[in-house]
């Protein structure tokens, strides 16, 4: 995987998690009390929107969005680790592992982001899910 693809995939991952958080928060506010008890709600809608904005900022090669996304996921990882140590639930384990994995992927992409900035190239904006949907639509 080259630098363009690595940063593009990380940007898509951050955008996807932002969208997922927004959807789960809307479900928590409308029909699911169990999601509301797990921390989703209006506050997480704002975090999800922030994640989406950071993901699109990474797509447009803004290094500050990249570092802000890294800080956000590291903070979320620490938060879920602290809550996991206090409550020991499988749901918190899943959220911790997911945030830690995204943090690892972001840290792993630091040299790639520097390379993109140095060569004045943009991350890969190709999304295999959109490509799949467009292929189905044209069929």
Please provide residue 11's backbone torsions phi and psi, each rounded to the nearest 5 degrees. -60, -45
pLDDT at site 35:
76
Contact of 73 with 99, CB cutoff 8 Å = yes
pLDDT at site 134:
64
Alpha-carbon gap, residue 55 to 25, rounded angstroms = 19
- pTM, two decimal places: 0.84
The pLDDT of 79-87, averaged and rounded, is: 92
pLDDT at site 4:
87
Residue (of 61, 63, 58) closest to 17 by Cα position = 58
Q: Between 107 and 123, name the one with better pLDDT.
A: 107
Separation of CA 14 from chain center:
2
pLDDT at site 37:
76
Residue 130 has pLDDT above 70, yes or no: no
Residue 45 has pLDDT above 80, yes or no: yes
What percent of the chain lies above the pLDDT cut of 70? 88
Residue 31 has pLDDT above 80, yes or no: yes
């Amino acid at each position: 995987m080259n630098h363009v693809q690595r940063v593009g995939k990380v940007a898509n991952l951050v955008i996807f998690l932002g969208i997922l958080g927004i959807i789960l928060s809307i479900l928590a506010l409308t029909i699911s009390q169990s999601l509301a008890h797990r921390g989703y709600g209006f506050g997480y809608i704002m975090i999800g929107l922030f994640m989406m904005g950071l993901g699109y900022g990474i797509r447009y090669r803004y290094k500050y969005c990249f570092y802000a996304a890294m800080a956000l996921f590291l903070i979320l990882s620490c938060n879920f680790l602290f809550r996991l140590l206090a409550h020991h639930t499988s749901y918190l384990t899943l959220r911790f592992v997911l945030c830690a994995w995204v943090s690892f992927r972001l840290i792993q992409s630091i040299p790639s982001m520097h390379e993109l900035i140095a060569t004045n190239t943009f991350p890969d904006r190709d999304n295999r899910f959109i490509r799949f949907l467009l292929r189905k639509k044209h069929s």
